[in-house]
Structure 1
Amino acid sequence: MENRYDKYKDSGIAWIGEIPEHWEIRKLKNIFLLSTGTTPKEYDKISEGDNLINWYTPSDILEGCNDLFSSLRKLSERVIYENKISLFPIGTLLYVGIGASAGKVGYANENGYSNQQITGLIPLECYSRFYFYYLSVLKDKIRDNAFFTTLPIINNVYLGQELLPYPLLSEQQSIANYLDQKCGEIDELITLQEEMITKLQSYKQSVITEAVTKGLNKNVPLKDSGIEWIGEIPEHWICTVFKKFLSEPMQYGANEPAEECNYNDPRYIRITDIKDDGTLRDHTFKSLPLEKAKEYMLTKGDLLFARSGATVGKTFLYKEDYAACFAGYLIKARCNKNELLPNFIFYYTLSNAYQNWKNSIFIQSTIQNIGADKYSVMPIIAPPLSEQQSIANYLDQKCSEIDELISIKQQKIEKLKDYKKSLIFECVTGKRKV
């Protein structure tokens, strides 16, 4: 490897291996002051004109390297004063010690404070930016070696005993500055790929919308659909309500807990199983015993609608060979396939026309909930059956091409993230000389 130090020694830390010979190993408590945050009295009392202070909770600290400038929740400066709270200074590392986010770390770019789930690592004899990178990239190693039974907990006693490589202060600063620059460049490349994915997703939705509302023939005469968010449609298409195409009334799913994972029983499909691309997550598989599932079994071509919560309106087209049933927060629609093809209506639910209809429902209600009564009277525009098939075939191919481009971008992002992580590891453990 290029840019190696002249001499190395064993660090004594299994996941670090060798470090440069002149580097030391020190305990975290000897280079940081550990100070756990709190939830002060009247923490939620904020008056007009109060000077607000950042008050960080685990939800502010995301995966990876987190530069923190502002928190979701704030404390009044009055509360800080009355509770005699000493704020964490700029450069403090905010370390999450409990719960699902245990091990995540953020770098405070402004004075602030935190709740009791976060420990402030206030630098004593170190350049904290260096250890921000170190703790970010090695969080899983530290977390995996912490002792806990069910709830992940990294307490201050354990954290303080953590052994860390300790280069010269000037080296710590040089390495941190180098990583600031390099990681900034990598992050820009990641952002560029993410922006391209967003554009591709927007393009995909526009392609779907154009096909399911205007058709494939650009020369056919058009007529007003009578629906504001749909506009003009081909003259020979019909516009009616969804229930006209159903072979049976819409059905709510089973109100049963998702406790079992038996691959010999029908899969129990829930809202949380459905990804944004309309496929199912493999790792969330749950099953339902056949005696409980039998009234809620799916057949090919059934369309599921989410009826409440953050995912309301999300749809899933069942076209699998395995047996499956569906849960209570989903509603099943079974179309008369002689009038409306499942593939066509599924693509319709991915269009802007469908999104605009959903938004019109939410305007009328303070609760984001769409029941079978509303789905049943959803406006549907439909071409003749043969044209539905042509449109569905066209979109199968076109969307597959766009999805492939999106997948390539996502793979590039993962490679960039992996490269960033390996670069940080090499620099903060001395494998690469800066």
Structure 2
Amino acid sequence: MAELASMPKYEAYKESGFEWIGEVPDSWELTKLGSCLFPVSIKNCPDLPLLSITRELGVIERDIENQDSNHNFIPDDLSGYKKLEKGQFGMNKMKAWQGSYGVSQYTGIVSPAYFVFNFTKSINPEFFNWAIRSKLYVSYFGSASDGVRVGQWDLSKDRMKAIPFILPSEKEQTAIANFLDIKTAQIDEAIAIKEKQIELLKERKQIIIQQAVTQGLNPNAPMKDSGVDWIGEIPEHWAYEPIKHSLKGIIDCEHKTAPFVDETDYFVVRTTNVKGGKLQMAGAKYTHEKGFTEWTRRGVPKVGDVLLTREAPAGEACLVPDNVKLCLGQRMVWLKIDRERLIPEFAISLIYSSIGRTYIDFLSSGSTVLHFNMADINNIPVVLPPLKEQQELVEFIRNESGKVDDGIEIQIQQIEKLKEYKTTLINSAVTGKIKVPELMADR
């Protein structure tokens, strides 16, 4: 991708009068949205398709069959809904602060609470959509909205009319819109390629774990039938059995919610904190000393033991980390591993291999929500090499998975840089910080 600093600039600039916009090309018009838009309200079109206005995509056709995507009530009588035509600007004024607005590519109807506008100036709708949905403008819409609390902020028409807008010539508008169509599509394609590479790396990591926990590291080791279809053959000197034989006990969570407080001394582990074999601190909740004492009356989880989710979702696991005082939230279970039989790190690999995943999938077959009971957990299948071999496998998996994780992290960082570049490119183009080639207007 071309560096923005190397792209051409306009010959002369002037102050916009707004710090968040900065300087703009001298030939561009400084105006306000109130001069660019005229509100319209046409109703009684109930036969037109329903549209939604979203933060991520702007105006989209609403999938009324998909209940998961329809959180808002749809009345039987749609005669009060507003008509939004292709090329008009629509806005969810209650969510304008997060960017829920855009120029429509469809003709349909939207909530009567939404704003619908026609353009009053010579404005290219595609350019306007790029500009108004840029991060620059979304942030300003947030500052222009107000209310009791975030999530219920409102944007009045008067405040919206006062929002500044800068207009290049019609030809420049078309050139900028075409330029951004092409360049952002290229960036999106590059991101998609990297996301695919991440998926391939994750598959590679799963293969590494799978081969290690079912075949070991010696390709010439004699094999035997495990007696389980989805496991197949395992090394002859390995054992296959339920995990209960390698546990000193299972401690269930308290079946009530811990008292959450602002202090950060006692971490309450919930199912949302356990994912992909790791303890995630994002969204962590904490309790006070009294709550910790009550929620650990059956015991304090020891470093290196296994925490397992019973539901929402079931079958995620992680090790108890060092230097963290934690107790179990709802739907969590603590597995007290017998370390003379099973190394906890090896148990985690087994749970996330096809050995554990197939068992979990079998339990969830025909059920909308999988819930582990104690019998289910006791019977999680494990294959047991000798302890020394388990340790060798743990180190092998850790080293090889670490290499894959490093590759995944590189791809993630590159994706973030591409997204940042895309944001900066859009902001720079719609405010004239870079000059788009005029020939783009003819594409």
Report the TM-score, using the length of structure 2 for normalisation: 0.84
Shift of 1:84: 6.3
Question: Where do 1:1-150 residues align within 5 Å?
Answer: 1=5, 2-34=7-39, 53-56=49-52, 58=54, 61-62=55-56, 66=57, 70-73=61-64, 83=79, 85-98=81-94, 102-115=98-111, 119-125=115-121, 126-136=123-133, 137-138=135-136, 139-150=138-149
SS at match of 2:83: coil
Query: In 2 relative to 1, CA 35–259 (structure 1 residues): closer, same or farther, beyond 3 Å?
Result: farther
Shift of 1:55: 2.9
Query: What is residue 319 of structure 2 aligned with on the other side?
Result: 317
Shift of 1:364: 4.8
Query: In 2 relative to 1, CA 156–257 (structure 1 residues): closer, same or farther, beyond 3 Å?
Result: farther
Does 1:256 pair with 2:261?
Answer: no
SS at match of 1:316: strand
Contact conserved, 1:349 with 1:355, CA < 8 A, in 2?
yes
Question: Where do 1:223-262 residues align within 5 Å?
Answer: 223-253=224-254, 255-257=256-258, 259-262=260-263
State which drifts further: 412-421 or 252-261: 252-261
State which drifts further: 98-107 or 364-373: 98-107
1:307 to 310, 322, 343: 310
Query: In 2 relative to 1, CA 205–189 (structure 1 residues): closer, same or farther, beyond 3 Å?
Result: same
Q: Quick one: which amino acid aligns to residue 320 of structure 1?
A: D
Identity %: 26
Contact conserved, 2:31 with 2:164, CA < 8 A, in 1?
yes
Q: Distance in 1 between matches of 2:255 and 2:288?
A: 10
Contact conserved, 1:36 with 1:117, CA < 8 A, in 2?
no
Q: Distance in 2 between matches of 1:397 and 1:378?
A: 26
Q: Distance in 2 between matches of 1:36 and 1:102?
A: 23
Name the Cα RMSD after superposition.
Answer: 2.9
Does 1:403 pair with 2:399?
Answer: no
Contact conserved, 1:297 with 1:326, CA < 8 A, in 2?
no
What per-residue deviation string (whole Å, max 9, x for no partner) do you get for residues 42-85 of structure 1? x9xxxxxxx88243254xx42xxx3765433369xxx9996165
Query: In 2 relative to 1, CA 33–17 (structure 1 residues): closer, same or farther, beyond 3 Å?
Result: same
Q: Distance in 2 between matches of 1:127 and 1:181?
A: 17
Query: What is residue 69 of structure 2 aligned with on the other side?
Result: none
Contact conserved, 1:208 with 1:351, CA < 8 A, in 2?
yes
Shift of 1:140: 2.2
Unaligned stretches of 5+ residues in structure 2 = 67-74, 437-443
Q: Distance in 1 between matches of 2:204 and 2:257?
A: 39
Shift of 1:383: 1.2
Q: Distance in 2 between matches of 1:135 and 1:276?
A: 38
Query: In 2 relative to 1, CA 237–368 (structure 1 residues): closer, same or farther, beyond 3 Å?
Result: same
Q: Distance in 2 between matches of 1:305 and 1:52?
A: 49
Q: Distance in 2 between matches of 1:128 and 1:314?
A: 47
What per-residue deviation string (whole Å, max 9, x for no partner) do you get for residues 226-275 of structure 1? 22222221122111112111101342246234521323x32111122234
SS at match of 2:49: strand
Aligned length: 415
Q: Distance in 2 between matches of 1:393 and 1:306?
A: 25
State which drifts further: 244-253 or 190-199: 244-253
Query: In 2 relative to 1, CA 101–256 (structure 1 residues): closer, same or farther, beyond 3 Å?
Result: farther
Query: In 2 relative to 1, CA 312–7 (structure 1 residues): closer, same or farther, beyond 3 Å?
Result: same
Question: Where do 1:201-220 residues align within 5 Å?
Answer: 201-220=202-221
Q: Quick one: which amino acid aligns to residue 413 of structure 1?
A: I
Shift of 1:394: 0.6
Query: In 2 relative to 1, CA 15–233 (structure 1 residues): closer, same or farther, beyond 3 Å?
Result: same
Shift of 1:181: 0.6
Contact conserved, 1:102 with 1:154, CA < 8 A, in 2?
no
Contact conserved, 1:301 with 1:334, CA < 8 A, in 2?
no
Query: What is residue 271 of structure 1 aligned with on the other side?
Result: 271
Report the TM-score, using the length of structure 1 for normalisation: 0.86
Unaligned stretches of 5+ residues in structure 1 = 44-50
Query: What is residue 181 of structure 2 aligned with on the other side?
Result: 180
Query: In 2 relative to 1, CA 117–209 (structure 1 residues): closer, same or farther, beyond 3 Å?
Result: farther
Contact conserved, 2:82 with 2:110, CA < 8 A, in 1?
no
Q: Distance in 1 between matches of 2:405 and 2:42?
A: 45
SS at match of 1:306: strand
